[in-house]
């Protein structure tokens, strides 16, 4: 028996060997890219990160020329937009084992650019991030932890949520990286055990060091967040966004607010225009 018949939305689909491993097991990666003026300004950075991640998961990385061709066919708008690229290990059978030859599948789509407030409201998420150093830093397709955390954020009416790992270390927001400023020193959580290494995170660290700002990658606790002078989030869609408040939803952590005028380091980094859309 070479395959099976599956029902998809009630319709029979023959040959189960063609069922994509990204759907079955999350066996793949993704990039969320900012587009403007009909192009992706950070395409080099995205392709470099994708290539490194594909190497870790042993998935052949799509050639840049193919991605550029796909982008052309998408007919990107002149205004800002969101492009999502997914690369999976392609078709496979029922079990965890991959077929002898991996035939990767790429998916590319464009979406409207999301509006974000100038200053963000955060909540502590109860959902924790599991420790998995083999996948730490990668934008892999296994995102159920973030799905559950986002439900918490939406239920509280906040813009974003902070997530801790199972060792109580603060790692990141649900869909963004985290930075804190304490006594003029910029800190961002270590991602050696879990979390996503965002391109904007990398750009901020580079820019901070060029500006002479002391920037460190380190473990960050909840107490470090509560005592911070400034807190901001980053990703390639929203750039650098300061946090105005952090509310507790767990019943075990205090809430805190940050003064609008206190974000001197945040503003300096924003003005350095390390984000493709520049300062806002």
**SS3 sequence, 10-49?**
CEEECCHHHCEHHHHHCCEEEEEEEEECCECCCHHHHHHH
Q: Quick check: 23 and 14 in contact, CB under 8 A?
A: no
Residue of 31, 32, 88, 187 marked catalytic? 32
Closest CA to 122 of 21, 228, 249: 249
Bridge partner list, 137: 196
Q: Which secondary-structure segment (H or E) carries 144?
A: helix 144-156
Estimate the crossing angle of helix 199-210 against helix 264-271, to 10 degrees.
100
Residue of 88, 139, 187, 244 marked catalytic? 139
3-class DSSP state of 251: coil
Q: How far is it, in rounded angstroms, from Cα 112 to Cα 77?
A: 9
Q: How far is it, in rounded angstroms, from Cα 164 to Cα 220?
A: 10
Residue of 31, 152, 160, 172 marked catalytic? 172
Bridge partner list, 182: 185
47: burial class by Cβ within 10 Å (0-12, 13-18, 19+)?
A: buried
The yes-or-no answer on residue 266 being catalytic is no
Q: Quick check: 215 and 202 in contact, CB under 8 A?
A: no
Q: Which secondary-structure segment (H or E) carries 64?
A: helix 64-74
C-alpha gyration radius of the chain: 20
The yes-or-no answer on residue 18 being catalytic is no
3-class DSSP state of 193: coil
The yes-or-no answer on residue 244 being catalytic is no
What is the biggest distance separating any 2 CA atoms in the chain, rounded to whole angstroms? 68
Q: Quick check: 137 and 24 in contact, CB under 8 A?
A: no
Where in the sequence numbering do the catalytic residues fall?
Answer: 32, 139, 172
């Amino acid at each position: 028996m070479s395959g099976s018949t599956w029902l998809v939305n009630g319709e029979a689909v023959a040959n189960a060997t063609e069922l994509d491993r990204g759907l079955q097991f999350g066996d793949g990666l993704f990039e969320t890219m900012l587009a403007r003026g009909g192009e992706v300004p950070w395409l080099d950075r995205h392709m470099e990160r994708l290539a490194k991640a594909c190497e870790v998961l042993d998935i052949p990385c799509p050639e840049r020329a193919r991605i550029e061709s796909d982008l052309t066919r998408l007919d990107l708008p002149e205004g800002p937009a969101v492009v999502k690229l997914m690369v999976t290990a392609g078709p496979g059978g029922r079990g965890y084992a991959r077929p002898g030859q991996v035939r990767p599948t790429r998916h590319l789509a464009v979406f409207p650019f999301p509006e974000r407030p100038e200053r963000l409201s955060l909540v502590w998420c109860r959902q924790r991030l599991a420790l998995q150093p083999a996948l730490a830093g990668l934008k892999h397709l296994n995102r159920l932890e973030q799905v559950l955390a986002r439900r918490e954020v939406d239920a509280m009416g906040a813009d974003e949520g902070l997530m801790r790992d199972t060792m109580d270390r603060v790692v990141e927001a649900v869909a963004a990286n985290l930075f804190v400023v304490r006594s003029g020193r910029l800190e961002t959580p270590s991602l050696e055990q879990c979390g996503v290494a965002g391109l904007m995170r990398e750009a901020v660290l580079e820019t901070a060091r060029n500006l002479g700002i002391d920037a460190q990658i380190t473990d960050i606790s909840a107490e470090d967040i509560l005592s911070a002078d400034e807190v901001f989030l980053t990703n390639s869609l929203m750039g650098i966004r300061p946090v105005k408040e952090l509310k507790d939803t767990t019943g075990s952590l205090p809430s805190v607010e940050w003064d609008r005028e206190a974000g001197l380091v945040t503003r300096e980094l924003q003005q350095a225009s390390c984000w493709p859309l520049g300062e806002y």
